[in-house]
């Protein structure tokens, strides 16, 4: 008969070992799950159920889906006595795992007035209770099998913390009242001068390797040859992008990729998402999670599609980085930046002389690269439903790097590969420029 962790811990000489794997995972689980609910504290009941566009999911759905993940991939697989909170939730809150079963239509999640917000919080509590009990009682063999799934589930929840904020921002933006999620003062500073940092050609190791957590799409580690290139020392600002607009950037098809100009015409783009321009009054405003504000010309321009970023780069006679170049530039850089825990929920002006050659690599904004999202050499999709997490989306997406102002600090690293479709604008996305040669 296998020992449980309760029995194993009784045998330890130091019974107060707070750093045992079981205790550490329980602490992380509770901390991350509680932080998700903290993010939702400013919301009213009505805010939890709105779906303002197909890409946006209601906050209530995010709360339930992250619980569904632990229920489906941990509790059902390792707790023989576990009983589902509600069997229908497997249909309602499965996102895209075809191998798990049928799913409710993504674009109609906002139609679900039931289960109620209260029901969903009860569901979270139910899953938390059973998960922590399982963690305490699991055999050593089961716990070791659970570890990679728990790690994935915790990082998955952190992804949805970011999505809750990006989605609620869009939900609030379409409301004529322009509600405030949480008022934050960021200060007004002048942006540092944009400089160019040079990198030599060479063969570089790219991708993740090691025992610490990474998503499957971050590996395997491999070599890539990189030609000499230059990278801008900071992100592009609102003022610099406004110059692009004032010089007719949205009306010059020669600057745009064919699909990008088609999207521009179809969607009627004239400026970044959430900008409000009154040319008569020469007034520029931007909607933020702190409400409607005057556009700060020194803050990084955000909520930019890949197409807009690419067009701006062409206008500046530059280009976007490849994801390999970005990782080369970020390798060895300290993981400093404006993240979710800083509670600005908006990119801030890069003004401090902090000794870093390249600023804002991490946090503030996800940086579009010119690289399509595709597998690294030797990549294999993991078996089973978990394999649907990343691999099946390697078509029609572009890679973004670096994290944003709503990315948890402990969630990001230099090898992290985010990906979105080129027209996507509701995420906190921005622009960093690159040039060829020395």
Q: Judge if 202 and 69 occupy the same domain.
A: no
What's the number of CA atoms in the CB half-sphere (13 Å) around residue 23? 9
**Residue 247 maps to a domain:** yes
pLDDT at 18 over 90: no
**pLDDT value of position 279:** 73
**pLDDT value of position 388:** 86
Cα torsion 223, 224, 225, 228 to 10°: value is -120
CA dist 118 and 141 (Å) reads 36
CATH code for the domain in which residue 63 is found = 1.20.120
**pLDDT value of position 435:** 97
CA dist 16 and 77 (Å) reads 30
Q: What is the mean pLDDT of residues 1-5?
A: 40
Packing angle between helix 117-137 and helix 59-70, nearest 10 degrees?
A: 20
Cα torsion 131, 134, 140, 143 to 10°: value is -20
Q: Judge if 276 and 141 occupy the same domain.
A: no
The model's confidence at residue 410, banded by pLDDT at 50, 70 and 90, is very high
> Each residue of 157-204: pLDDT tens digit?
999 999 999 999 999 999 999 999 999 988 888 999 999 999 999 999
Packing angle between helix 306-315 and helix 258-267, nearest 10 degrees?
A: 120
> Each residue of 205-236: pLDDT tens digit?
999 999 899 999 999 999 999 999 999 999 99
Q: Judge if 209 and 336 occupy the same domain.
A: yes
The secondary structure of residue 98, as a DSSP letter, is T
**Residue 138 maps to a domain:** yes
Q: Judge if 202 and 159 occupy the same domain.
A: no
pLDDT mean across residues, the chain: 93
CA dist 28 and 152 (Å) reads 12
CA dist 188 and 175 (Å) reads 27
**Residue 226 maps to a domain:** yes
Q: What is the mean pLDDT of residues 59-84?
A: 97
Chain position carrying tokens 């999911």: 57
**pLDDT value of position 438:** 75
**β 222-226/229-232 pair status:** unpaired
Structural domain count, the chain: 2
Percent with pLDDT over 70 in the chain: 94
Residues 6+ apart with CB under 8 A from 233: 192, 193, 194, 195, 196, 197, 357, 358, 359
> Each residue of 83-131: pLDDT tens digit?
999 999 999 999 999 999 999 999 999 999 999 999 999 999 999 999 9
**pLDDT value of position 11:** 46
The model's confidence at residue 4, banded by pLDDT at 50, 70 and 90, is very low
Q: Judge if 304 and 393 occupy the same domain.
A: yes
Q: Judge if 36 and 150 occupy the same domain.
A: yes
Cα torsion 262, 266, 270, 276 to 10°: value is -150
What's the Cα-to-Cα distance from 395 to each of 311, 321, 340, 392, rounded to whole Å? 22, 19, 29, 8
CA dist 165 and 187 (Å) reads 21
Q: Where among 131, 158, 173 does a domain terminate? A: 173
**pLDDT value of position 282:** 75
Q: What is the mean pLDDT of residues 140-169?
A: 97
**Residue 190 maps to a domain:** no
Q: Judge if 146 and 260 occupy the same domain.
A: no
Q: What is the mean pLDDT of residues 126-143?
A: 95
> How far does Cα 375 stand from its chain's mean position?
19
The model's confidence at residue 316, banded by pLDDT at 50, 70 and 90, is very high
Q: Judge if 134 and 216 occupy the same domain.
A: no
Range of the domain at 231: 196-436
Sheet holding 196-199, edge to edge: 196-199, 229-232, 433-436, 319-320
Residues 6+ apart with CB under 8 A from 379: 216, 217, 219, 220, 391
Q: What is the mean pLDDT of residues 131-151?
A: 95
Q: Using CB atoms within 10 A of its CB, is residue 333 exposed (0-12), middle (13-18) or buried (19+)?
A: middle
The model's confidence at residue 354, banded by pLDDT at 50, 70 and 90, is low
Q: Judge if 155 and 207 occupy the same domain.
A: no
Radius of gyration of the chain (CA): 23
Residues 6+ apart with CB under 8 A from 230: 196, 197, 198, 199, 434, 435, 436, 437, 438
Q: Judge if 30 and 141 occupy the same domain.
A: yes
């Amino acid at each position: 008969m296998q020992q449980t962790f309760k029995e194993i811990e009784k045998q330890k000489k130091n019974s107060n070992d707070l750093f045992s794997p079981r205790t550490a995972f329980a602490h992380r689980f509770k901390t991350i799950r509680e932080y998700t609910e903290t993010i939702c504290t400013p919301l009213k009941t009505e805010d939890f159920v709105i779906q303002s566009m197909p890409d946006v999911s209601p906050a209530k759905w995010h709360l339930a889906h992250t619980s569904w993940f632990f229920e489906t991939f941990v509790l059902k697989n390792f707790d023989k006595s576990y009983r589902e909170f509600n069997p229908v939730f497997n249909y309602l809150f499965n996102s895209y795992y075809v191998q798990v079963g049928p799913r409710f239509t993504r674009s109609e999640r906002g139609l679900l007035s039931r289960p109620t917000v209260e029901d969903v919080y009860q569901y979270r509590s139910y899953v938390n209770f059973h998960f922590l009990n399982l963690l305490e009682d699991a055999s050593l063999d089961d716990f070791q099998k659970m570890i990679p799934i728990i790690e994935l589930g915790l990082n998955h929840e952190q992804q949805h913390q970011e999505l809750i904020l990006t989605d609620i921002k869009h939900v609030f933006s379409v409301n004529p009242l322009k509600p405030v999620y949480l008022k934050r003062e960021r200060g007004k500073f002048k942006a540092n001068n944009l400089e160019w940092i040079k990198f030599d050609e060479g063969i570089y190791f790219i991708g993740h390797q090691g025992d610490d957590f990474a998503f499957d799409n971050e590996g395997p580690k491999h070599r890539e040859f990189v030609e000499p290139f230059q990278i801008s020392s900071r992100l592009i600002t609102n003022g610099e992008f406004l110059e692009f607009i004032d010089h007719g950037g949205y009306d010059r098809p020669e600057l745009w990729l064919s699909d990008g100009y088609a999207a521009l015409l179809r969607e009627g783009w004239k400026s970044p998402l959430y900008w409000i321009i009154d040319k008569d009054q020469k007034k520029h405003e931007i909607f933020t999670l702190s409400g409607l504000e005057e556009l700060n010309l020194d803050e990084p321009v955000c909520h930019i599609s890949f197409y807009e970023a690419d067009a701006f780069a062409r206008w500046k006679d530059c280009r976007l980085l490849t994801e390999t170049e970005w990782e080369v530039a970020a390798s060895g850089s300290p993981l400093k930046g404006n993240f979710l825990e800083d509670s600005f929920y908006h990119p801030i002006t890069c003004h401090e002389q902090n000794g870093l050659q390249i600023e804002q690599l991490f946090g503030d904004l996800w940086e579009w690269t010119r690289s399509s999202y595709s597998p690294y050499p030797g990549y294999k999709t993991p078996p089973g439903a978990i394999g649907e997490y990343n691999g099946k989306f390697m078509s029609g997406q572009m890679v973004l790097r670096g994290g944003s102002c709503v990315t948890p600090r402990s969630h990001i690293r230099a090898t992290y590969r985010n990906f979105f479709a080129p027209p996507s604008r509701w995420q906190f996305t921005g622009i960093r420029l690159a040039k060829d040669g020395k």
